[in-house]
Amino acid sequence: MKILVLYNDTAGKSEAKETAEKFQAYVKEQGEEHQAFLQASNPDVDPKDVREAAEKHAVDTIVIIGGDGTIHHGLQTFKEKLDELKVGIIPGGTVNNFARMLGIPVKPEEAFETILTGVERSIDYGTVNDQVMISTMTIGLLADTAAATSQEEKQQYGPLAFMKRFIHLLIKKKQYKLEVIADERKWQGKTQLLTIVMSNSAGGFKNFDEEAKPDDGLFHIILLPKLNILRFILYLPRIIRGRIAKVPSVEYFTAAKVSI
Strands 193-197, 219-224: pairing kind: antiparallel
Interval 75-107: pLDDT, tens: 999 999 999 999 999 998 777 888 888 889 989
Q: Is the dihedral of CA 35, 39, 41, 46 positive or negative?
A: negative
Amino acid 29: pLDDT = 95
User: Residue 228's pLDDT band (boundaries 50, 70, 90)?
Assistant: low
Quote the DSSP letter at residue 121.
Answer: -
User: Residue 114's pLDDT band (boundaries 50, 70, 90)?
Assistant: very high
Per CATH, domain 2-123 is 3.40.50.10330: yes
Interval 180-204: pLDDT, tens: 999 989 999 999 889 999 988 876 6
Q: Are 90 and 22 in contact (CB under 8 A)?
A: no
Q: Are 134 and 75 in contact (CB under 8 A)?
A: yes
108 three-class SS: helix
pLDDT greater than 90 at residue 209: no
pLDDT greater than 90 at residue 122: yes
Averaged confidence pLDDT in the chain: 87
Scanning the chain, the segments in alpha helix (DSSP H) are 16-29, 47-56, 68-77, 97-101, 108-117, 141-148, 151-157, 159-172, 229-234, 236-240
pLDDT greater than 80 at residue 49: yes
What is the domain partition of the chain in residue ranges?
Answer: 2-123, 135-259
Amino acid 237: pLDDT = 67
Q: Are 89 and 80 in contact (CB under 8 A)?
A: no
Task: Return the percentage of the chain with pLDDT > 70, whole number.
Answer: 92
Topology of domain 135-259, CATH: Tumour Suppressor Smad4 (2.60.200)
pLDDT greater than 60 at residue 258: yes
Rounded to an integer, the average pLDDT of 209-228 is 89
pLDDT top residue among 8 and 53: 53
Amino acid 101: pLDDT = 85
Rounded to an integer, the average pLDDT of 169-189 is 88
Rounded to an integer, the average pLDDT of 224-249 is 74
**Cβ neighbours of residue 50 under 8 Å, at least 6 residues apart?**
4, 6, 39, 41, 77
